[in-house]
A and B are shown apart, each in its own frame.
Chain A
Amino acid sequence: MFDDFILRALAAGVGVALVAAVLGCFVVWRRMAYFGDSLSHSALLGIALGMASGLSYSLGIFLVCALFATALTWLQHQRILATDTLLGILAHASLSFGVVLISLLDESGFNLHSYLFGDILTVGRADILWIYGGGVIVLAMLGWHWTSLTLMTISEDLARAEGVNTFFANLVLMALMTLVVSVSIRIVGILLVTSMLIIPAATARQWARSPEGMAAGAAVIGIVAVIAGIYGSLWFDTPSGPSIVSAAALLFFVTLMVAFTRKR
């Protein structure tokens, strides 16, 4: 049953899983999970703006996410409120603005559900180009700055003393998250994007001995989860996004149990 749409779904899913898992290691190490979650919530406003302007949704998502990251950085520098408060406000404000705007536009045929939970079985060739184009950029940037980012994760001061431009590196990391979140939304949806970043990385942590090992392990786990999730969703006739995340979560719990019993 290798239909075209399944092949496209697999190609898109594997691409997203690979890139998200590698970037996800930094999300786990630098505790950016809540940032990723908030970022993806703001994507709905991007979809609404894309719809209102008649331009592509992906472009709208990317622009709003970029604006979100900039606004957050600026507000953090004002030091008036804690970051989690700011994230909560920005995330839910943009989510609500997005929903209100979409309902005002009253677009027929718009399926909010497919954006909240993803719809991998409808991806087209253009989506795949977006995913692989963005993916190559993200992996190249991560590979290029890998050791600097890792050192910065261990100690920001040490990295600065050794000549790493930590402000720029933080900016790069945020930009990469923006890119990954905006292309991953088609696959697993706004509500589940963060799980593609953190579950494979958290699973790989159980037995990884080096930063690179954890990234490679996360990539493998992410890809396995996507393939299992897509076939599972076809087999059981369940929604694809939640099926992929369920597969990833099952892998996480199994490795956790294995690690736990081995320790005892």
Chain B
Amino acid sequence: MSTLITADNLFVSRRDQVILHDVSLRIGERDFITLIGPNGAGKSMLLKCLLGFYKPDAGRIERADDLRVAYVPQSLKADTTLPITVSRFLTLRQKPARDVLDNAIAETGIESLVAKPLQVLSGGEMQRVLMARALLSEPQLLVMDEPAQNLDISGQLAFYRLVDDVYHRRGLSVLMVSHDLHWVMASTRQVICLYHHVCCTGTPQAVAQDPQFVALFGEDMSKLMAMYRHSHDHNHLHDSASDGCGFPHE
């Protein structure tokens, strides 16, 4: 499988504080990677380096030629002073083909929102609109920074279901920061645990048992992860039996 982005030995420091220390990772086609780690661990910085917002102080980032990356931010608080409808926001600075636009709108289920002003959307509606906008460039890689952070429980579930659907339907790669361990355990194929450096990486089960993970998050968290895994196994069997939506395990 071809590689979309490789990062080699990234170093970033800000104000004499080391934020990223010798971080390397590789994102391939159809990868589904979740970044976890305590607050201030450098997760957002890593995303921003990969997106090209910042140049790392040392290290190398290589992107595949003509790589299409789309970004879904944590949240968006639309200012009431700027009058704009959802449909205009979607096509601001981009001119997608009619069917691409219609597909993205249908896929995210925002048909009833397109004529509304951006300011009146709820948190969950806004995240779906942001997802629709991200899909308009037909990305190969979807980067998300805690996209469900500000949603209530049912909103989080609905949004993660959407991410799941998009991942399967479009066959793109996903890189996201998430604190929702249930989601991480249930849907992610690879977890990277970051604390300025890559502490451990692998499948969710493997990471949950890694001594480094236990050291960072504590015994309780590790047990919690294991429990999620356990409950998920049941759901998973059930899911794949009923709608065939299970993950193809490597």
**Interface members, chain A 149-197 (any B CB < 8 Å):** 150-151, 153-155, 157-158, 160-162, 164
The answer to whether B76 and A154 touch across the interface, beta carbons within 8 angstroms, is yes
Q: Would A29 and B76 count as touching, CB distance under 8 A?
A: no
Q: What is the CA–CA distance of A211 and B226 in the complex, to the nearest angstrom?
A: 50
Of the candidate stretches A11-19, A92-100, A126-134, A202-210, the one touching chain B is A202-210
- A147–B92 CB distance below 8 A: yes
Contact residues, B186-245 vs A (CB, 8 A) = none
Chain B residues in 8 Å Cβ range of A148:
93
User: In the bound complex, do residue B73 and residue A209 qualify as a contact, i.e. CB atoms below 8 Å apart?
Assistant: no
**Given A154-B89, A160-B51: A211 in contact with B70 (beta carbons within 8 A):** no
The number of inter-chain residue pairs (CB within 8 angstroms) is: 64
Contact B89 A161 (CB under 8 A): no
Residue of B51, B81, B94 touching A205 (CB-CB under 8 A): B81
Contact A29 B92 (CB under 8 A): no
CB-nearest residue of chain A to B80: A205
Partner of A158, one of B69, B76, B81, B85: B76
Q: How far is the CB of A140 from chain B (nearest CB, A)?
A: 18
A154 touches B78 (CB 8 A): yes
Q: How far is the CA of A147 from the CA of B92 in the complex (A)?
A: 6
Give bound CA distance, A148 to B93, whole Å. 6
Chain B nearest CB: distance from A198 CB in Å? 10
Cβ B76 vs Cβ A210 within 8 A: no
Residues of B contacting A147 in the complex (Cβ-Cβ under 8 angstroms): 92-93
Contacting pair A205 B83 (CB below 8 A): yes
- Contact yes or no, A210 B85, CB < 8 A: yes
- A143: chain B residues within 8 A (beta carbon): none
Contact A158–B71 (Cβ < 8 Å): yes
Q: Which of A28, A151, A162, A205 neighbours the largest number of chain B CB atoms within 10 Å of its CB?
A: A162
Q: What residues of chain B lie closer than 8 Å to A28, measured between beta carbons?
A: 81
Nearest-CB residue, chain B, relative to A159: B93
* Chain A residue contacts of B73, Cβ below 8 A: 155, 157-158, 161
Is B82 positioned at the interface, with any CB of A under 8 Å from its CB? yes
Closest to B84 in A: A211
Q: Answer whether residue B118 sits at the interface, using C-beta atoms and an 8 A cutoff.
A: yes
Closest Cβ neighbor of A162 among chain B residues: B93
* Any B CB within 8 A of the CB of A213: yes
Assess the B84–A151 pair: CB atoms within 8 A: no
Task: Determine whether B161 belongs to the interface, using a CB cutoff of 8 Å to chain A.
Answer: no
Known: A29-B79, A162-B93. 11 other contacts (CB 8 A): A150-B92, A150-B93, A157-B71, A158-B71, A160-B51, A161-B51, A161-B143, A162-B94, A205-B81, A210-B88, A211-B84
User: Which 5 pairs of residues, A with B, have the shortest CB-CB distance?
Assistant: A161-B71, A147-B93, A208-B83, A29-B82, A157-B73
Which residues of B are interface residues toward A (Cβ below 8 A)? 51, 53, 69-71, 73, 76, 78-79, 81-85, 88-89, 92-94, 117-118, 130, 133, 137, 143
Residues on A facing B (Cβ under 8 Å): 28-29, 147-148, 150-151, 153-155, 157-158, 160-162, 164, 205, 208-211, 213-214
12 A-B contacts, Cβ less than 8 Å apart? Answer: A150-B92, A150-B93, A153-B82, A154-B82, A155-B73, A160-B53, A161-B53, A162-B93, A208-B83, A209-B117, A210-B84, A211-B83
